[in-house]
Amino acid sequence: MSTGEETFAVDGKGPINEPFQNDLEKPLSAKDLEPFGNEETAEVKYRTMKWWHCGMLMIAENVSVGILSLPSAVATLGMAPAAIMIIFISALSWYTGYEIGQFKLRHPHVHSMGDAGELLMGRLGREILGIGQLLLLIFLMASNILTFNILMNVLTNHGTCTLVFGVVGLVICFLGALPRTMDKVYWMSVASFMSVLIATIITMVSAGVETKQHVVNEAIREVSFREGFLAVTNIIFAYLAHIAYFGFMSEMEDPRTFNKSLAMLQIVDTVLYLVSALIIYHYVGPNVKSPAISSLSPIMSKIAWGLAIPTTILSGVVLGHVACKYIYVRLFRGSDNMHNRSLLSIGSWVAICIGVWIVSWVVAESIPVFNDLLSLISALFGSWFSFGLPAIFWFYMNRGQYFNNIKKAILTIINIGVLAIAIAMCGLGLYVSGVAIHNDSSTSSWSCANSA
């Protein structure tokens, strides 16, 4: 895939191809070329990931138990519109991910959306996008804790107070977040992917075996706008991995291989989404629950939930690592503390991990209408981080060249369309989430009640 942009060498010594005509005149300092600086003699090295390490981390971040909510989206929209939406959003996500990769190669010092925001809008942009990124990550981490509460309630038949399960999930996630480098988290991402893959296969097979009656599958369904868009948001939210791309690329040996990582993610998750959503809906029918594990018999539901424990925990660990690393780099950027094993560097990392995970746990236990609020935050920030901002990055990289030739003109129109889609996702997502919050009378916060 090519958008016509040229990319810069990661060592900062010059362009790989031809430089941008409107490139910034002032060269980056050695410290700013990479967020982790020169690691030749560093005790702790961060830029160690191969492209397949990065790809697996992206899969673990993006593909978790949420994949089993997609059959309910198919049940709402019908098989044909749902399949079309999955493929369309996958293609859109792939393209905007590519744009983020190009932006990172041109600006190697960018480690987070906050860094990108500073390039676009100065100090204010850094704070807005940095806080937005951290807020979205914390809410997604809290979602993982809530999912852990649900599966433990199912496995133990509500064996104890749900708050206890939340604390257990908090401790496990914190321990998993202790490694400071992404290459160590990679092995957790492999376990996470195997977990969700096996749980999904078990769910598909069980749905087929347990179906005893004829199920009517609808290719197209007539639904209200609000119901239809809520189903579409379930699909959109399955592709919101972009928030971590800058951080992942910063820890690759060669960020120019990021396109391979992106292709690995998009192919794997799209195939999994399509196959699992359509097959489970085919066998269970319009009454499929979300997540689809809940549609299985009690025994098979417990087996599937048990197999999903690693992905529930470890996908949260990957998200938590990105959130902690954002704060850590912000504090110690340009300092040798990031690269040594001193009490200050290790103690600071542990303290950040403790703080971030406690905040996410408090959020998980405090907000009665959490799922609706998560949808609200995702609509507000996720639509921009995954779709709107990448289009803006393209306009920033190509400013002054929008209609220089036919190719640039076509890409300009495409990115205007992408930006319009992001605005629609944000606006409509805020609307349907607001209605849901208004109508929702969910369980009280800090409750021992069964959350399953």
Q: What are the pLDDT digits (tens) for 64-100?
A: 887 888 999 999 999 999 999 999 999 999 999 999 9
Letter string b/e over residues 165-204, b meaning 16 or more CB atoms within 10 A of that residue's CB: bbeebbebbbebbebbbbbebbebbbebbebbbebbbbbb
Query: Quick check: 250 and 36 in contact, CB under 8 A?
Result: yes
Residue 18 is predicted with a pLDDT of 35
- Give SS3 for 282: helix
Query: Quick check: 251 and 47 in contact, CB under 8 A?
Result: yes
Best CA proximity match to 355, nearest among 160, 168, 138: 138
**CA separation for the pair 94, 263 (Å, rounded):** 8
Task: Dig out the tokens for 244 from the structure.
Answer: 């971590």
Q: Assess whether pLDDT exceeds 50 at residue 120.
A: yes
Residue 8 is predicted with a pLDDT of 42
Best CA proximity match to 265, nearest among 193, 318, 205, 204: 193
Residue 436 is predicted with a pLDDT of 74
* Mean of per-residue pLDDT scores for the chain: 86
Alpha carbon dihedral 300, 147, 238, 417, in 10-degree steps, equals: 150
Query: Quick check: 247 and 325 in contact, CB under 8 A?
Result: yes
Among 231-240, 245-254, 294-303, the range scoring the smallest mean pLDDT is 231-240
**CA separation for the pair 396, 357 (Å, rounded):** 35
Residue 368 is predicted with a pLDDT of 60
What type of residue sits at position 374?
A: L
* Rounded average pLDDT over 146-171: 90
Give me the phi and psi of 147, to 5 degrees please: -65, -40
Best CA proximity match to 248, nearest among 29, 56, 32: 56
pLDDT by residue (tens digit) across 223-247? 888 888 888 888 888 888 899 999 9
* Rounded average pLDDT over 167-174: 93
Q: Is the dihedral of CA 219, 223, 226, 230 positive or negative?
A: negative
Task: Dig out the tokens for 345 from the structure.
Answer: 């560097």
Task: Give the chain's length.
Answer: 452
Q: How confident is the model at residue 33 (pLDDT cuts 50, 70, 90)?
A: low
Among 119-133, 197-211, 414-428, 431-445, the range scoring the smallest mean pLDDT is 431-445
**CA separation for the pair 179, 318 (Å, rounded):** 11
The DSSP 8-state label assigned to residue 386 in this structure reads I
Query: Quick check: 91 and 249 in contact, CB under 8 A?
Result: no
**CA separation for the pair 318, 56 (Å, rounded):** 11
Residue 6 is predicted with a pLDDT of 43
Q: Assess whether pLDDT exceeds 70 at residue 27.
A: no
Beta bridge partners of 318: none
* Rounded average pLDDT over 116-137: 93
Q: Assess whether pLDDT exceeds 70 at residue 22.
A: no
**CA separation for the pair 268, 21 (Å, rounded):** 37
**CA separation for the pair 314, 205 (Å, rounded):** 24
Q: Could you report how far apart the first and last alpha carbons of the chain are, in Å?
A: 43
pTM as predicted: 0.87
Give the number of other CB atoms < 10 A from CB of residue 249.
27
Q: How confident is the model at residue 444 (pLDDT cuts 50, 70, 90)?
A: low
**CA separation for the pair 331, 67 (Å, rounded):** 35
Rounded to 10°, the helix 79-106/258-284 angle is 170
Looking up tokens 């981080």 gives 385
Query: Regarding the domain delimited by 47-365, which CATH topology (the fold level of the hierarchy) does it fall under?
Result: Hydantoin permease (1.10.4160)
Q: Assess whether pLDDT exceeds 60 at residue 15.
A: no
Q: How many angstroms from the chain centroid is the CA of residue 188?
A: 16
* Spans of all domains in the chain: 47-365
Residue 294 is predicted with a pLDDT of 87
Best CA proximity match to 92, nearest among 419, 423, 451, 450: 419
Residue 222 is predicted with a pLDDT of 84
Beta bridge partners of 438: none
Q: Assess whether pLDDT exceeds 80 at residue 39.
A: no
pLDDT by residue (tens digit) across 188-208? 899 999 999 999 999 999 999
Give the number of other CB atoms < 10 A from CB of residue 442.
12
- Give CA separation, 151 vs 33, 137, 205, 301, in Å: 44, 21, 20, 10
